[in-house]
Amino acid sequence: MSERRTITPTHRYRNNDKLIGIGNTFWNLSEEHGVAGIVGDLHDGVFRMADGHEFVNFTVCSYLDLDTHPRVIDGAVAALRRFGVLDHCIPRTRVQTTVLLELEESLGELFGATVVSAISTAAASTGLLPLMASGHLGNGTRPLMVFDKNAHVSMANAKPSCADETEVVTCRHHDLDFLADMCRRYERVCYVVDGSDSLGGYAPVEELAELQDRYDLLVFYDDSHSLSAYGERGIGYVRTHSPVLDERTITVATLSKGFGAGGTAILLDGYPQQTRRIIERFAGPLGYSQKMNAAAVGAAMASAEIHRTDELVELQGRLRSNIALFDSLLATEQSGSTYPIRVVPMTDETVVEAAQRVFAAGFYVSPVFFPIVARGTAGLRVMLRAGQTGEQIRRLASVLVEAGAQPAGPVAR
């Protein structure tokens, strides 16, 4: 049987050998050191493990702690009772109850956009990007798809599908010159990028708007990390700062991080009703797979109501205070930013041990490493939230310094 064919892969856009080869080693190392694969019961913001160890999780994306807000949970329960079914199992393009339509109307009003819901941001990006590649979402012209090198894997994984509908390239992080050059060379260009990065930082939305105005550049943003946490009524970074809120800007943003519910919102402007139908019918999983269930919808409706009140302003203020407190204690590259994520620099050699030490002291901060970040830029990822106490933040900072982190400024500590 030795004559049977073996296969050589193309590995144009993905490479599991490489991804898993490097990634799995680090995951295994993390798990062996007890800083991954952690299981516990969560009560009142404190995790308790089977062995009795207790810790506060500083790597949760619920920036405003709305996910545990009693009104949000009550909203989920109320929707279950009202609709009496989690998901009426038939594509909504055929028959639907009002559950998703009510949510989309509420979110549309809240964010000043046309909103289409999806079960997750991954499902939304998986479905939308190939439609943009083929020009069906856009202006009909098949664009060159330029993926930012750092675009989250939920977007990057759509490259092979997009590449069957158009040309696909990857550019350096926020490389505006390259984009301008491509805009001059191609009839149309679509740039795929995080509006707010999972490792801290925002997209250059104003500079991109200039390219959008000049060259009709289409931009696909994933703004999941700034929704709720940033802007009036939690509108997020992109919609706060981009002057181009029309058919040239398409944004997806999860309802499961700052928003505290589940599912995702696709935010559109300037598209006709017909485009909405194209999305519902042909945007991959949106057309054939599960939808946001009634509990997630009920939670999101309740969270939307909170977004309309002063409570949101208060929560955003507490988050900002916590960020400022952290920055007053520790030096990071993100210091001074409104962004709720900080990466405390460590070396590839020390990062896991440092995480272990911090964990033993009662805090979980996740070690990040290749392939999540480039080699040599390892660190401990800290996510600030509105609900953390000043005491928790001070204690964490003190433990981080003991583990090798650099204190802030000359008079820190």
Number of CB atoms found within 10 A of residue 341's CB: 22
What DSSP state is assigned to residue 170? E
Q: At closest approach, how far in Å is the CB of 390 from a copy of itself?
A: 23
Residue 215 class from Cβ within 10 Å (0-12 exposed, 13-18 middle, 19+ buried)? middle
Of residues 47-76, those binding a copy of itself (CB under 8 A): 47, 57, 59-62, 67-68, 72-73, 76
> What is the identity of the amino acid at 181?
D
Beta-ladder partners of 234? none
Is 172 near a copy of itself (CB under 8 A)?
no
Q: At closest approach, how far in Å is the CB of 412 from a copy of itself?
A: 28
Q: Decide if 253 contacts 236 (C-beta within 8 A).
A: yes
Q: At closest approach, how far in Å is the CB of 236 from a copy of itself?
A: 16
Instruction: Give the one residue of 103, 113, 123, 250 binding a copy of itself; rule: CB under 8 A.
Output: 123
Q: At closest approach, how far in Å is the CB of 408 from a copy of itself?
A: 26
Binding window for a copy of itself (CB under 8 A); candidates: 201-209, 230-238, 281-289, 337-345: 281-289
Binding window for a copy of itself (CB under 8 A); candidates: 114-122, 237-245, 310-318, 334-342: 114-122
Nearer to a copy of itself, 119 or 192 (CB): 119
Is 36 near a copy of itself (CB under 8 A)?
yes
Whether residue 371 has a cis bond before it, omega within 30° of 0: yes
Q: At closest approach, how far in Å is the CB of 162 from a copy of itself?
A: 8
- Listing DSSP states for 200-234 in one string gives S-B--HHHHHHHHHHH--EEEEE-TTTTTTSSGGG
Of residues 289-328, those binding a copy of itself (CB under 8 A): 289-290, 293-296, 299
Nearer to a copy of itself, 90 or 411 (CB): 90
Number of CB atoms found within 10 A of residue 6's CB: 4
Axis crossing angle, helix 294-307 with helix 99-111, rounded to the nearest 10: 20
Q: How far is CA 149 from CA 169, 266, 291, 413, in A?
A: 9, 22, 30, 37
Spatial separation of the C-alpha atoms in residues 413 and 407, rounded to whole Å: 7
> What is the identity of the amino acid at 36?
A
Nearer to a copy of itself, 94 or 376 (CB): 94
Q: At closest approach, how far in Å is the CB of 266 from a copy of itself?
A: 15
The two tokens of residue 223 are 């703004």
Nearer to a copy of itself, 143 or 201 (CB): 143
| Residue owning tokens 């300037």 | 270
Binding window for a copy of itself (CB under 8 A); candidates: 121-129, 201-209, 226-234, 237-245: 121-129
Query: Helix, strand or coil for residue 116?
Result: strand
Spatial separation of the C-alpha atoms in residues 220 and 127, rounded to whole Å: 13
Q: At closest approach, how far in Å is the CB of 92 from a copy of itself?
A: 9
Beta-ladder partners of 116? 266
Is 23 near a copy of itself (CB under 8 A)?
yes
Nearer to a copy of itself, 130 or 379 (CB): 130
Of residues 235-274, those binding a copy of itself (CB under 8 A): 254, 256-257, 261-263
Instruction: Give the one residue of 22, 29, 80, 245 binding a copy of itself; rule: CB under 8 A.
Output: 80
What phi, psi does 171 have (nearest 5°)?
-115, 165
Of residues 125-164, those binding a copy of itself (CB under 8 A): 126, 130-131, 133-134, 136, 141-144, 152-154, 157, 160-161, 163-164
Reported residue count of the chain is 413
Q: Decide if 234 contacts 113 (C-beta within 8 A).
A: no
Is 9 near a copy of itself (CB under 8 A)?
yes
Q: At closest approach, how far in Å is the CB of 409 from a copy of itself?
A: 30
In this structure, are strands 341-345 and 363-364 parallel, antiparallel, or unpaired?
unpaired
Is 234 near a copy of itself (CB under 8 A)?
no
